[in-house]
Structure 1
Amino acid sequence: MLPFITRRTLGAVVTLVIISAVTFFLFFAVPADPARLACGKVCPPELLEQARHNLGLDQPLFVQFVAWLAGIFVGRDYEGLGACPAPCLGYSFVNRAPVFETILDRLPLTISLTIGAAAVFLTFGVATGIIAALRQGRPLDKIASVSSLIGASVQIYFIGTLAMYFLVYQNQILWRPRYVEFSQDPIGWAQGLLLPWLVLAIIFTANYTRMTRSTMVEQLSEDYVRTARAKGMSGRSVVMRFAMRGTLTPIITIFGVDLGALIGGAIITEQTFGLQGLGQLSVRAVTYSDLPMLMATVLVAAAAIVVFNIIVDVLYAFIDPRVRLS
């Protein structure tokens, strides 16, 4: 197990370096001048040259990338802006604040949104899929299939807007979306994120219901499941001890990808409910051409997906005894 984790970790580091290189060269190869973006619209030539020097833009592009990559581990000193301690992702062109500090400020909201929504859609999606598979061809199965198809077809900005109007503004059934730190007010934290959790979970619950149902139906027809039933095991034991293990493997695979993507920023959800998380931050970075912030959000999203994929691979060995990691 340890050699496998070591290899995957090294592979993840290489993957992140490649992603950061592609991101860096892509955004610094655009026609827009990063120095002018950092200096502002009205910038005299002498200040423009000073900004270019302070940001290290007068160096070759490869040297700039090496300096930016090294700054993540050892920090970096920007002339005119001050020292940027490790991990340094540069200074924002918009607010002149360290990018890493801004990421840390927005990350708790995104994590809270992800954890709450994931708990809802994983619980309801898997449970509904199992029930539909056990009632295959019956009315409950058809209702679950139609509901999941409708849920997978709607968009977050559409259903989120309707939910805000009917559940918050019109009838005051739920609380207006807002973010409160969990350590300060756990109840207010849950109340403020409950509506985004439910709306975000609708889309994902539909996907997990369909995935769980199809996989469970396939597992229930396997020889080892029929053998367990022939030996007199109860239906519950057959489902939980045998069929469920085979069903969990593809579910955990897509769950790892979804969780990493949500940690990277639930852009549409945060935009719909006005939440200031990583998704909102990336939108502002694109709008204002804030290249350091945009590169940082891309790197964080990629790191989240890579890390959760490693965790998923390790979990395979514990869920399915047929999988051996070495």
Structure 2
Amino acid sequence: MLMYVGRKLASGLVLFLTVTLVTFALVFSNGEKSVRNNLGELATDEQVARRVAELHLDQPVLTQYVKWLGDLLTGSLGQSFNSGEDVVTLLRSRIPVTLSIIFLALLFTFVLSVTIGVASAAKGGWIDRALQFVAGTAAALPNFLVGIALMFLFAIALRVFPATGYVPFGDNPRGWAQSLVLPVAALVIHMVASSAQQFRGAMVDALKQDYIRTLRSRGLPERAVVLRHALRNAATPGLTILSVQTIGLLGGAVLIEQIFALSGVGQFTVTASLAGDLPSVMGVVAFGTLLVLVVNIVADVLIAWINPKVRLS
């Protein structure tokens, strides 16, 4: 198991370096243009050239990347081109917001997907058809439209939850939960649709296997057959699709944070991109890549723990 985890960590490191290098090359190849935009239209060529030299943007991209990577290892992401503040400081207050949304969305998506998928596959009949209809309808609804609808219904019309804003958990746990209900629900409704369908398909295939018929013929309770044996084999494709959805979840979080005025990484990404703040953009890329890698590695480890055959493949 340790060797398997080591291989996953090594492949994750290679992927992180590849993604950040390619992104860095694309972003910093337009460094002079970004500097000119930051200085304004009235800036002279000499002022632009001086600023480019101060930021070391006149050096080869690979040299700049190696320096950025070295700073990253020391816990620094450079200074913002716009404010001059440390990028880590700018992200520190925003990361908890985005992490709260993403991990709560993943947790509820997993629980609901397993529940709906197992119920559809095991019960069948009208329950299966009804759940598939609801899941198909939810899959067709973009999460930003769901977010707007939830805001109008529960925040404006019913006044059950706040429409905008984020409350830190340390300040008020109840306020933290209330501020995240609508954003998380907007993401979960869309994600559960595809995940539940995946779990259902895997469960249907698992319940058709010969060993399931053998267990039933031996008089094992149906509950144990479904939850202890069939679900164990169906978990692998379910966890795989859930880990893949993390990438889409990051994109959805950008829109949801804009709708609910949450000062998270998504909102920061939009601001930094429009302003041409290259160090901030790279900080966001590093955070997003690490988050996706961590979720995927955790999912792979869980799959290998559930199905030991995966460790040998």
**TM-score between both structures, scaled by the size of structure 2:** 0.93
Aligned to 1:95: 83
Once the 2 structures are TM-superposed, how far is the Cα of residue 261 of structure 1 from its aligned partner? Answer: 5.2
Kindly state the Cα deviation for residue 46 of structure 1 after the two structures are TM-superposed.
Answer: 4.0
Which residue is equivalent to 2:306? 319
Cα pair distance change 1:58/1:33, threshold 3 Å: same
Please say if residues 187 and 252 of structure 2, whose CA atoms lie closer than 8 Å, have aligned partners that are also in contact.
no
**Residue number in structure 2 paired with 1:53:** 53
Task: Determine the C-alpha separation between the residues in 1 that align with 2:61 and 2:206.
Answer: 54
What is the aligned partner in structure 1 of residue 27 from structure 2?
Answer: 27
Distance 2:155 2:113 in 1: 25
Alignment of 1:269-308 (within 5 A): 269-308=256-295
Distance (Å, rounded) in 2 between the aligned partners of 1:90 and 1:274: 26
Q: How far did 1:232 drift?
A: 0.5
Post-superposition offset of 1:260: 5.8
* Cα distance in 2, alignment partners of residues 120 and 42 from structure 1: 52
User: Equivalent residue of 1:183, what SS?
Assistant: coil
Alignment of 1:101-116 (within 5 A): 101-116=89-104
The yes-or-no answer on 1:16 pairing with 2:10 is no
Distance across 2 between alignment mates of 1:118 and 1:21:
28
1:129 equivalent to 2:117? Answer: yes
Indicate if the aligned counterparts of 1:156 and 1:199 stay in contact, CA closer than 8 A: yes
CA contact 2:162–2:179 (8 Å) conserved in 1: yes
Conserved? CA contact 1:130–1:212, under 8 Å: yes
- What is residue 196 of structure 1 aligned with on the other side? 183
Asked if the contact 1:261/1:301 (under 8 Å) is kept, the reply is no
In 1, Cα distance between equivalents of 2:309 and 2:3: 19
Deviations 1:41-96 (A, max 9, x none): 433444323311221122223222222222212xxxxxxxxxxxx32222112222
Q: Distance in 2 between matches of 1:92 and 1:14?
A: 27
Equivalent pairs: percent with the same residue?
Answer: 33
Q: Is the Cα contact below 8 Å between 2:167 and 2:179 reproduced in 1?
A: yes
CA distance in 1, matches of 2:51, 2:84: 12
Would the aligned equivalents of 2:198 and 2:241 in 1 still touch at CA under 8 Å? no
Deviations 1:110-136 (A, max 9, x none): 111112222222222210111111122
Structure number with higher relative contact order (C-alpha < 8 Å, ≥ 6 residues apart): 2
CA contact (8 A) 1:177 1:194 kept: no
Of the structure 1 ranges 190-199 and 146-155, higher mean CA displacement relative to structure 2 is found in 190-199
CA distance in 2, matches of 1:11, 1:219: 30
Length-normalised TM-score, structure 1: 0.89
1:181 aligned residue (158, 162, 168): 168
Cα distance in 2 for partners of 1:195, 1:91 equals 34
2:155 equivalent to 1:165? no
Query: Which of these residues, 228, 241, 246, is aligned with residue 254 of structure 1?
Result: 241
Unaligned runs of at least 5 residues, structure 1:
74-85
Which residue pairs with 1:148 in the alignment? 135
Instruction: State which drifts further: 262-271 or 218-227.
Output: 262-271
For residue 36 of structure 2, what is the aligned residue in structure 1? Answer: 36
SS of structure 2 residue aligned to 1:226: helix
Amino acid at match of 1:127: T
CA RMSD, Structure 1 to Structure 2 (Å)? 2.0
SS in 1 for 2:107: helix
